[in-house]
Amino acid sequence: MTPEITDSHCHLDFPDFEGQLDQIIANAAAAGVTRMVTICTKLRLEPQVRAIAEAHAPVFYAAGTHPMSAADEPLASTDELIALAGHPKFVGIGETGLDYHYTSDSADIQKQSLRIHIAAARDTGLPLIIHARAADEDMAQILTEEYRNGAYTCVMHCFSSSKELAHAALDLGFYLSMSGITAFPKSQDLRDIFASAPIDRILVETDAPYLAPPPHRGRRNEPAYTAHTAQKAAETFGMPYPDFAAQTQKNFNRLFSKARADTVQP
């Protein structure tokens, strides 16, 4: 029997999947990917993302303002995010975060947006979904400061940052998510960071349509390919694949408790 896993982060509303979602979800099921969380990165697009989750039983969703869009989109409000959380298939806040690689000029508005999303995660009890790139020091500082103001849960999505940020996140009880990057041949340093993390704090994802793992690298990613990332991740942790898959399912259910089979509303 194919081990079951969850793609904890993908973007099924992107044009790459237009008109193909039934096949994409069937492909995922065949690979053992029985659930996926599709992420809305601009709140004005939330209705379209919500519709995908409503139309497909294995799909859940989250919404927020991506840091690279923070300067171009209306600033979210905590109340707005809390209201969205009332939907039965809305399971996380974000993605939000800091990205100074391409958009360092909007750092101030990114920080403001991030703190709003953290407040919503704290108030709703839903996990915060963090995008972090080239902003490790500010990210660690804000996450830690805000945690002192009140606990919240969080996943560092597609984690590919420094060991220092990894340790800061893990010290707060947060989770790290492994994307296709961790399966790239030259990513041994990143695999070493994950290997030093507690196994009960690990998730897997695609970030589809981006970052396809081998043997699909350079082509469009899709949720089915979570299996390739997870198989390589099992090697990183020195575990049989079925055991690793089962552990990540437990981890996902603990963090994204609203998406557990026993809590999903018909």
Residue identified by tokens 């101030």 is: 108
Domain borders along the chain are: 5-64+143-259
In angstroms, rounded to a whole number, what is the distance separating the alpha carbons of residues 238 and 206?
21
| Type of residue at 248 | T
* Structure-token pair, residue 12: 């099924």
Query: Contact 207/3 with Cβ under 8 angstroms?
Result: no
Mean pLDDT in the chain? 97
In angstroms, rounded to a whole number, what is the distance separating the alpha carbons of residues 76 and 158?
23
Query: Contact 30/69 with Cβ under 8 angstroms?
Result: no
Give per-residue pLDDT as tens, 180-239: 999 999 999 999 999 999 999 999 999 999 999 999 999 999 999 999 999 999 999 999
> Percent of the chain beyond pLDDT 70?
98
Query: Contact 178/203 with Cβ under 8 angstroms?
Result: yes
In angstroms, rounded to a whole number, what is the distance separating the alpha carbons of residues 200 and 8?
15
In angstroms, rounded to a whole number, what is the distance separating the alpha carbons of residues 7 and 98?
22
**Model confidence pTM above 0.75:** yes
- What average pLDDT does this structure show over 32-48? 98
Give per-residue pLDDT as tens, 90-122: 999 999 999 999 999 999 999 999 999 999 999
85: pLDDT strictly greater than 90: yes
CATH number of 5-64+143-259: 3.20.20.140
151 closest CA partner among 179, 130, 124, 180: 124
Provide the pLDDT for residue 266: 46
